[in-house]
């Protein structure tokens, strides 16, 4: 076994696997160290991928050449579109996966990738010399040296599990925690924080009265996440809906004195957007019911996950709570719900390419940066792996803009604002939703993935052919006329739009909000040969062309100020007119661009203007000198 690598990745969760795959695929000799190989890419919570904003991240990871969408497609049990009644900007897929198949898909990808070694051991220390990382030490007493180390330790760092008033050191799902590394990070000068997350009980499928519940079947049309997967229809694994009852709420209220959340046993801050069921009952006392989904954990197991029912109440209370839900009166438990506290590194200690500011060559990705979610983790892992390789080659790091990708929004939020609670991606965090859509991730990002060497010739040809056929279809629609026949006008009236009096280009007719793609196909002589997804993408581009153009111009305008570089060692004390709050925050967070400066909370637009003038003067002085 080698002892020297270019890149060492600590932790093979969703972030670590993507990081290692990207670095190795970009030609770096890479070592992926994991505490236990069987928990690689473990879906510690619900084995579900996607949903609003998270689905967008998965498509972006895929377009850049990452693995997550393919692992999802290889393990999907149930998939459907979400937000179909809303605008195209927020529509995306959500898949329920077989957690073991998802793990195997990542394991196979890692095992098959040249330049990549996988080894089971716990990293206990990072080796740092003169502000640069030099490698890692492990529990077995091994030393691996490397120019880049990527930390992707998830919820394992200093992990402590709580079930009622019982608590003990542990990783998720009974895994071993990683306890010693935190001290090494503190010794290196990092600030370390504490967060918490929680999960739901798991019950046995045979103990649920399915006939009394409402099923939600997988989509009837073929679907897939990856741009390169064959879309499929999935049958046989419905998700089911039940709800909490007044009795559930009563049980919860009467047990709050034994809740680690409410008695102060848990210090870490939990996710506000994804609260435990006890938290919901306390925060929304007027609601007497909350929806709970019962979802399969795998195709070969009877284990059922209870979405929206995360809890850390004592086990005896959990049993009563679960059995108060319709359909679950006789539920048998396979695993209890629990909360887990863990250490994280506040992400304002990072550059926007995910390298730490304190120790050069050390990168962080995933939950260690304060995020929550498989998709958020994988997105950061991919970026960290890419930037590890670019750093080694002496190339500029990749930093995606807020107008370019959800990944750009995610990283920018983390490094400029930090986070006080587990950060999750939402569509509302993104200012340019209409141009950052699920359907156009390939056009936005695949050219970058291709340049980085992460998209091979075969996959690139598939995309080129797709873009070509969409372009050809658009031209065809421009040249195709719809005639004012009786049948066509009857269809238009039926759709609630005015009939036509003269022949009209099909593309123009499609701009009408009432005219759907399907309706148009019924009015033209030769129907389109585009796939449903290609057609939906073209339709959005046509219907929203005006808005999309306006949004693109807004992004371009912002880019001008966004990209103005602020020197890392800029002396904010020398700038007159800055408020003392802004001066303090700018000195602490050290933004690298004016755009980042403006997004630091407490830095006002007026202060950004003052800073702009000062930075311009600085650059002019420097260019006169140079």
Ligand X SMILES: Cc1cc2nc3c(=O)[nH]c(=O)nc-3n(C[C@H](O)[C@H](O)[C@H](O)COP(=O)(O)OP(=O)(O)OC[C@H]3O[C@@H](n4cnc5c(N)ncnc54)[C@H](O)[C@@H]3O)c2cc1C
The two beta strands, 143-151 and 4-10, are parallel
- The residue within the footprint of ligand X, chosen from 66, 135, 164, 373 (CB under 6 A), is 373
Return all residues near 19 (Cβ < 8 A) that are at least 6 apart.
9, 150, 152, 363, 365, 381, 382, 384, 385, 388
Q: Is 15 in the site for ligand X (CB under 6 A)?
A: yes
Q: Is 198 in the site for ligand X (CB under 6 A)?
A: yes
Based on CB atoms, which residue is closest to ligand X, 14 or 438? Answer: 14
* Touching ligand X, residues 217-276 (CB under 6 A): 274
Check if the beta carbon of residue 151 is closer than 8 Å to that of residue 173. Answer: no
Distances (CA, A) of 219 to 75, 78, 178, 369, 555: 16, 8, 40, 35, 35
The two beta strands, 202-204 and 303-307, are antiparallel
Give the C-alpha separation, 162 to 136, whole Å. Answer: 30
Give the C-alpha separation, 142 to 3, whole Å. Answer: 8
Give the C-alpha separation, 72 to 452, whole Å. Answer: 23
Question: Could you tell me which stretch among 14-22, 125-133, 453-461, 542-550 binds ligand X (CB under 6 A)?
Answer: 14-22
Q: What sign results for the dihedral spanned by CA atoms 186, 188, 192, 197?
A: negative
Angle (CA) 124 39 344, round 5°: 45
The residue with tokens 């399915």 is 210
CB of 561 to ligand X, least distance (A): 33
The two three-digit tokens of residue 285, written as one number: 């006392």
CB of 20 to ligand X, least distance (A): 11
CB of 117 to ligand X, least distance (A): 14
The region that residue 264 occupies, defined by phi over 0 for left and psi between -120 and 50 for alpha, beta otherwise, is: left
* Touching ligand X, residues 32-51 (CB under 6 A): 33-36, 39-40, 42, 44-45
* Touching ligand X, residues 532-561 (CB under 6 A): none
Return all residues near 172 (Cβ < 8 A) that are at least 6 apart.
42, 44, 45, 154, 155, 156, 159, 161, 199, 340
The residue with tokens 């928990």 is 39
* Touching ligand X, residues 440-459 (CB under 6 A): none
Question: Could you tell me which stretch among 192-200, 229-237, 277-285, 587-595 binds ligand X (CB under 6 A)?
Answer: 192-200
Check if the beta carbon of residue 306 is closer than 8 Å to that of residue 335. Answer: no
Q: Is 416 in the site for ligand X (CB under 6 A)?
A: no
Q: Is 374 in the site for ligand X (CB under 6 A)?
A: yes
Return all residues near 467 (Cβ < 8 A) that are at least 6 apart.
442, 443
Give the C-alpha separation, 111 to 116, whole Å. Answer: 8
Question: Could you tell me which stretch among 70-78, 82-90, 195-203, 480-488 binds ligand X (CB under 6 A)?
Answer: 195-203
Q: Is 99 in the site for ligand X (CB under 6 A)?
A: no
CB of 127 to ligand X, least distance (A): 14
Q: Is 298 in the site for ligand X (CB under 6 A)?
A: no
CB of 588 to ligand X, least distance (A): 25
Question: Could you tell me which stretch among 253-261, 278-286, 311-319, 367-375 binds ligand X (CB under 6 A)?
Answer: 367-375
Question: Could you tell me which stretch among 109-117, 320-328, 373-381, 440-448 binds ligand X (CB under 6 A)?
Answer: 373-381
CB of 11 to ligand X, least distance (A): 3
CB of 99 to ligand X, least distance (A): 11
The contact pattern for ligand X, residues 152-191, with x = CB under 6 A and - = no contact, is xxxxx---------------x-----x--x----------
Q: Is 12 in the site for ligand X (CB under 6 A)?
A: yes
DSSP symbol at 298: -
The contact pattern for ligand X, residues 53-92, with x = CB under 6 A and - = no contact, is ----------------------------------------
Q: Is 490 exposed, middle or buried (0-12, 13-18, 19+ CB in 10 A)?
A: exposed
E strand intervals along 142-201: 143-151, 160-163, 166-169, 193-199
* Touching ligand X, residues 122-151 (CB under 6 A): 122-123
CB of 616 to ligand X, least distance (A): 40
CB of 126 to ligand X, least distance (A): 10
Q: Is 377 in the site for ligand X (CB under 6 A)?
A: yes
Based on CB atoms, which residue is closest to ligand X, 50 or 418? Answer: 50
* Touching ligand X, residues 312-351 (CB under 6 A): 340
CB of 378 to ligand X, least distance (A): 7
Q: What sign results for the dihedral spanned by CA atoms 584, 587, 588, 594?
A: positive
CB of 312 to ligand X, least distance (A): 9
- The residue within the footprint of ligand X, chosen from 158, 352, 366, 408 (CB under 6 A), is 366
CB of 75 to ligand X, least distance (A): 15
E strand intervals along 13-107: 30-34, 48-50, 76-82, 92-97
CB of 567 to ligand X, least distance (A): 32
Based on CB atoms, which residue is closest to ligand X, 401 or 418? Answer: 418
Q: Of 65, 57, 56, 21, give the one whose Cα is nearest residue 41.
A: 21
| Secondary structure class of 171 (helix, strand, coil) | coil
Question: Could you tell me which stretch among 275-283, 365-373, 397-405, 437-445 binds ligand X (CB under 6 A)?
Answer: 365-373
Based on CB atoms, which residue is closest to ligand X, 88 or 370? Answer: 370
- The residue within the footprint of ligand X, chosen from 29, 96, 99, 199 (CB under 6 A), is 199
Check if the beta carbon of residue 129 is closer than 8 Å to that of residue 360. Answer: no
- Which residues of the chain form contacts with ligand X (CB under 6 A)? 10-16, 33-36, 39-40, 42, 44-45, 122-123, 152-156, 172, 178, 181, 197-199, 274, 340, 366-367, 372-374, 377
């Amino acid at each position: 076994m080698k002892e020297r690598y270019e890149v060492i990745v600590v932790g093979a969760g969703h972030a670590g696997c993507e990081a290692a795959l990207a670095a190795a695929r970009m030609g770096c000799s890479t070592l992926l160290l994991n505490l236990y190989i069987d928990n690689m890419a473990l879906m510690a919570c619900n084995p579900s991928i996607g949903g609003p904003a998270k689905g967008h991240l998965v498509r972006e990871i895929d377009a850049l050449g990452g693995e997550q969408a393919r692992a999802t497609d290889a393990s999907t049990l149930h998939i459907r579109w979400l937000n179909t009644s809303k605008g195209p900007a927020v529509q995306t897929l959500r898949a329920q996966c077989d957690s073991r198949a998802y793990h195997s898909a990542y394991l196979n990808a890692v095992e098959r990738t040249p330049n990549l070694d996988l080894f089971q051991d716990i990293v206990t220390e990072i080796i740092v010399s003169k502000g640069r990382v030099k490698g890692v030490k492990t529990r077995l007493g091994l030393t691996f040296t490397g120019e880049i180390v990527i930390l992707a330790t998830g919820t394992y760092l200093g992990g402590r599990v709580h079930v009622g008033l019982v608590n003990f050191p542990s990783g998720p799902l009974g895994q071993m925690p990683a306890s010693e590394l935190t001290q090494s990070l503190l010794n290196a000068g990092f600030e370390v924080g504490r967060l918490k997350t929680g999960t739901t009980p798991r019950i046995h499928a045979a103990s649920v009265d399915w006939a009394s519940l409402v099923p939600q079947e997988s989509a009837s049309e073929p679907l897939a996440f990856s741009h390169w997967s064959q879309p499929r229809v999935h049958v046989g694994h419905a998700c089911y809906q039940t709800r909490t009852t007044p009795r559930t709420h009563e049980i919860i209220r009467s047990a709050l004195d034994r809740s680690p959340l409410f008695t102060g046993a848990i210090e870490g801050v939990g996710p506000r957007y994804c609260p435990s069921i006890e938290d919901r009952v306390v925060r929304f006392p007027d609601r007497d019911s909350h929806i709970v989904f019962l979802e399969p954990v795998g195709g070969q197991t009877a284990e059922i996950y209870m979405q929206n029912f995360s809890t850390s109440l004592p086990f005896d209370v959990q049993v009563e709570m679960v059995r108060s839900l319709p359909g679950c009166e006789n539920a048998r438990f396979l695993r209890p719900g629990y909360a887990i506290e863990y250490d994280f590194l506040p992400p304002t200690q990072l550059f926007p390419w995910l390298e730490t500011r304190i120790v050069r060559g050390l990168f962080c990705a995933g939950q260690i940066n304060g995020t929550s979610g498989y998709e958020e983790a994988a997105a950061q892992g991919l970026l960290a792996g890419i930037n590890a390789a670019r750093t080694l080659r002496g190339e500029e790091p990749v930093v995606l803009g807020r107008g370019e990708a959800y990944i750009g929004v995610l990283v920018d939020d983390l490094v400029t604002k930090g986070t006080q609670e587990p950060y999750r991606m939402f569509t509302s965090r993104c200012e340019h939703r209409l141009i950052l859509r699920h359907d156009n991730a390939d056009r936005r990002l695949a050219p970058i993935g291709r340049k980085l060497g992460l998209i091979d010739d075969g996959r690139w040809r598939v995309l080129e052919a797709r873009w070509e056929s969409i372009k050809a279809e658009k031209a065809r629609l421009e040249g195709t006329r719809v005639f004012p026949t009786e049948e066509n006008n009857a269809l238009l009236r039926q759709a609630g739009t005015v009939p036509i009096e003269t022949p009209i280009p099909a593309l123009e007719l499609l701009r009408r909000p009432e005219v759907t793609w399907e309706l148009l196909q019924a009015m033209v002589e030769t129907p389109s040969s585009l796939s449903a997804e290609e057609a939906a993408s073209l339709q959005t581009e046509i219907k929203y062309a005006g808005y999309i153009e306006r949004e693109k111009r807004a992004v371009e305008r912002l880019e001008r100020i966004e990209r103005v570089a602020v020197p890392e060692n800029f002396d904010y004390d020398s700038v007159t007119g800055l408020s003392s709050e802004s001066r303090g925050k700018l000195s602490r967070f050290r933004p690298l661009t004016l755009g980042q400066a403006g997004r630091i909370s407490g830095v006002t637009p007026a202060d950004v203007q003052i800073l702009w003038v000062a930075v311009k003067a600085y650059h002019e002085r420097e260019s006169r000198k140079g």
